Amino acid sequence: MIQSLKLFPKHFKNRLYAVVMVVVLAVSPLLPQTKERIISVHGTVTEILYALQVSPLLIAVDSTSSYPKEARSLPVVGYQRTLTTEGILSFKPTKVIGLETAGPTQTIQNLKETGIQVTLFPDEYNLDTPINRVLAVGKLLGKNKEAESLANQIRTQTQSLQLKKTNVKVMFLYSRNPSSVFISGSGTAAHAMITLSGAKNAITEFSEYKPLTSEALVKSNPDIILMPESSAEGFGGTNAIWSINGIELTRAGKEKNIILVDDLLLLGFGPRLPQALKILNEKWKQIE
């Protein structure tokens, strides 16, 4: 007769399992820790990671990560608003960090369900935003001391700004190509930069972004046009901008007043915010 052999009684196996688990947990701190593999899905977050000197943990970035120049050599996972689950997972990250504008929603949900730590900070536009972001990233990555030092630098630079309030009316234009031009109302990063730097938004009738019309352009009669550099390039350069129907009837068009600023510096609300505000305010004072 064949009989199954039970080398250990059930209660003994349970005790053995418990002992093994205790040993594993006891020695786990001695085992090599998994190195963080971070993907940044916003240029401002990328800039902060470099400023806190944790860039060696950065394995990929999104397409808005243009500063510092070293970030441009990293693999790109796409634009922060059109991320794909497969594109992110192919890099095997342990953390994904960005702003609440990252998406689409399903991609973010998919990433969270895999167990990857996804952290998205508020997309706010005020003088304290860079400081809050730096401190939050520092806390997330255990770099509190470095973050506090950087936050203090930004705070000092902000407090030392001597920005003059002006009556200069600024129109912010955004375009990826000549057939699609948008202007910014209130509630946008562009509106916040215009007002914080001491000028007035030429558009007061609506919030968010809306397509540019000749009527709105002539009615608002801006003193100056403000554009991100890459947007102006996509539009076809400054000569193309001066060919917009109706712009020749505005002061900006008559005097060819335009200022182009690096995209991330202008709209990022990152560590270089005081620098951006100073540049803009100097420009407003020159044309007032």
Q: Which of 20-34, 150-164, 171-185, 269-283 has the lowest mean pLDDT?
A: 20-34
Residue 36 scores a pLDDT above 90: yes
CA distance 151 to 173: 31
CA distance 224 to 73: 35
Tell me the average pLDDT of the chain: 90
Residue-level pLDDT at 6: 44
What residues contact 19, with CB distance under 8 A and at least 6 apart? none
Residue 284 scores a pLDDT above 80: yes
Question: Per-residue pLDDT tens for 66-105?
Answer: 999 999 999 999 999 999 999 999 999 999 999 999 999 9
Question: What percentage of the chain has pLDDT greater than the value 90?
Answer: 82
User: Any long-range contacts for 254-257 (C-beta under 8 Å, 24+ apart)?
Assistant: 255/287, 257/223, 257/224, 257/225, 257/287
CA distance 160 to 36: 37
For residue 224, the Cα-to-chain-centroid distance in whole angstroms is 26
pLDDT band at 17 (very low <50, low <70, confident <90, very high): very low
Q: pTM for this structure?
A: 0.85
CA distances in angstroms from 35 to 92, 143, 219, 248, listed in the order given: 11, 15, 57, 57
